[in-house]
Each structure stands twice: as structure tokens, then as C-alpha cells.
């Protein structure tokens, strides 16, 4: 029997599919990120869960995976669910999937709601090519470094973010990716207070400064292909520096997005500033 990855609603329980109901009711074992939330969902969608429901989350997956793999090997149908969406996508599950594949066990899934795809669809940004970046690091310096790495990414990018960090993340995005870079902040998707805010990153950062609640997905447009002279790149660095960004960070971001060497750009900026002081 296979490991079944079952996607659960990201907000509205009415999005639970008939197949999800069947898999939950017919499982030998259900491994759930939060057993209480699963039981609440089951009650709302009218499903009687099997006797064996076990917890499987980021803090115990290292020890639980071997135990659950053994159940799959024994022929039991193990269904894995997380709090919302598809298991293993910014949620527990990858370790279990990898273990099953390495052990030549079948892995399948029940498709369902996805915050990533829904946010892309409603963002109004290009969806022909995109990449999912998950959650940005908690520390500001690490967050900035990750954004610098993707500053020249041509594909539309999707991020998850916590409400208490959304304003700071959008502010750094505006500094690193550009104040006018098109983006959309999607919150509480499929829920009562669903909201989608679209605009430039600086504009969205200003809006978020007032406080944002709920589950949040950010969609950011990819970098435009452009040929930028060193002189124009220097002007862009100086403009961002005037808005309060650190020179070293801005040089790194602009170098990545324009194709100029970071050191060459930094030296050109320094030379320009020295010429103004002469």
C-alpha cells in the first residue's frame, strides 16, 4: 500500500474534495501535523476518522519517519496531512516521501487547494514561469542575502510570510528588488476576510506598516531583462542609498540585477561620490 499525501483546505472546509474524504475515512493510519486541527476538519466535513491518528510534525518527524515507513512496508495505507495545503510544501512530509522512495515504496497524492497556485492566479502577474521561495529567513541580514540572490530572477516569485514580519520583509524587498517592482500580497485566501493588495513593493510596504493579520502569500514579479550602463547603475545605487539603504547592500543588489561586478560597481560609486566632494 502507498503513502498518500493528502491536500487539505487552506481555509474554507468546503474545498475538501470527495477523494480527501474517502482517503481520510479509509486510511489505516493518518499522520497529521496537528491532530486536533485534523479532528476539527473531519467534524466540519462529516468524516469519521480511523482509530489510529498519530502526530507528525517538524519536531518529531526525524524519529517518526522510520516508524511510519515500517507501516507502509507492512501494507498499511498511511495518509499524511498537514494543517493546510499539500504536505511537504513548506510543511512536514519531505523526509517521509524521501524515505519511502529510497525503500521502493509507492508514494501518491490527493491534489487539492494550494496557496501558491491561488496567489499566482489572482496576483495579475505572469504565471507562465514561476518559482516558489517559501518563507524568508527570520533574521534581517539573512533575509536580505536571500533576496539579493534572487534579485535578477526573471520568473515570478512566490513567498510565504508571517503577519508580524510582513512589513519588514516588504521593506527589504523594496530596497533590494526595487521600490516599483510589481507585487501582490494575498492574505486569508478562501477565508471570510480574503484580501489581495497589488502594487509596487514600496507602496505595499507602506500599507503593511499599519499592521496585517492572517495567513500571507506574497507574489513578486520577476526582474526585467535590461541593459544598464555602469553610469545608470551608479545612479540607481545612489537613489536607493538616499532612501536609507546601506551602500554595501545596495551595491550587491544592483550588481546582481544589472550584471555589473559588485566590486566594480562599488568602486564606481565611491569614485563618483569623491568627484562630487572635490
Q: Residue 76 has what DSSP assignment?
A: -
For the entire predicted model, the pTM comes to 0.80
Per-residue pLDDT of the chain (278 residues; tens, 9 = 90+): 799 999 999 999 999 999 999 999 999 999 999 999 999 999 999 999 999 999 999 999 989 999 999 999 999 999 999 999 999 988 899 999 999 999 999 999 999 999 999 999 999 999 999 999 999 999 989 999 999 899 889 999 999 999 999 999 999 999 999 999 999 999 999 999 999 999 999 999 999 999 999 999 999 999 986 667 888 888 888 888 888 778 888 888 888 777 788 888 888 888 888 787 65
Break the chain into its structural domains and give their ranges: 3-110, 115-220, 230-277
> In the structure grid, which three cell numbers stand for residue 98, read together?
524521501
Q: Is the CATH number 3.40.1010.10 carried by domain 3-110?
A: yes
Phi first, then psi: what are they for 39, rounded to 5°? -65, -35
Q: How far is CA 264 from CA 87, 88, 118, 259, 270, in A?
A: 45, 42, 41, 11, 10
Which fold is adopted by the domain 115-220? 3.30.950
Amino acid at each position: 500500500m502507498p503513502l498518500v499525501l493528502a491536500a487539505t483546505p487552506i481555509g474554507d472546509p468546503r474545498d475538501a474534495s470527495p477523494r480527501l474524504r474517502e482517503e481520510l475515512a479509509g486510511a489505516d493510519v493518518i499522520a497529521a501535523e496537528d491532530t486536533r486541527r485534523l479532528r476539527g476538519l473531519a467534524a466540519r466535513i462529516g468524516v469519521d476518522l480511523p482509530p489510529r491518528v498519530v502526530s507528525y510534525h517538524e519536531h518529531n518527524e526525524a524519529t517518526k519517519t522510520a516508524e511510519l515507513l515500517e507501516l507502509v512496508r507492512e501494507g498499511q495505507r498511511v495518509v499524511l496531512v498537514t494543517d493546510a495545503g499539500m504536505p511537504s510544501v513548506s510543511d512536514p512530509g519531505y523526509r517521509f516521501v524521501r524515505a519511502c522512495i529510497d525503500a521502493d515504496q509507492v508514494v501518491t497524492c490527493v491534489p487539492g487547494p494550494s496557496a501558491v497556485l491561488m496567489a499566482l492566479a489572482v496576483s495579475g502577474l505572469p504565471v507562465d514561469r514561476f518559482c516558489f521561495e517559501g518563507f524568508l529567513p527570520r533574521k534581517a541580514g539573512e533575509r536580505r542575502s536571500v533576496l539579493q540572490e534572487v534579485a535578477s530572477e526573471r520568473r515570478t516569485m512566490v513567498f510565504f510570510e508571517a503577519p508580524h514580519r510582513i512589513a519588514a520583509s516588504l521593506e527589504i524587498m523594496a530596497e533590494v528588488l526595487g521600490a516599483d517592482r510589481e507585487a501582490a500580497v494575498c492574505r486569508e485566501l478562501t477565508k471570510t476576510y480574503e484580501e489581495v493588495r497589488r502594487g509596487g513593493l514600496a507602496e505595499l510596504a507602506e500599507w503593511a506598516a499599519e499592521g496585517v493579520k492572517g495567513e500571507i502569500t506574497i507574489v513578486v514579479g520577476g526582474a526585467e531583462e535590461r541593459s544598464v550602463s555602469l553610469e545608470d547603475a551608479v545612479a540607481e545605487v545612489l537613489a536607493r542609498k538616499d532612501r536609507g539603504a546601506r551602500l554595501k547592500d545596495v551595491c550587491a543588489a544592483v550588481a546582481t540585477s544589472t550584471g555589473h561586478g559588485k566590486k566594480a560597481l562599488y568602486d564606481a560609486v565611491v569614485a563618483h561620490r569623491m568627484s562630487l566632494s572635490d
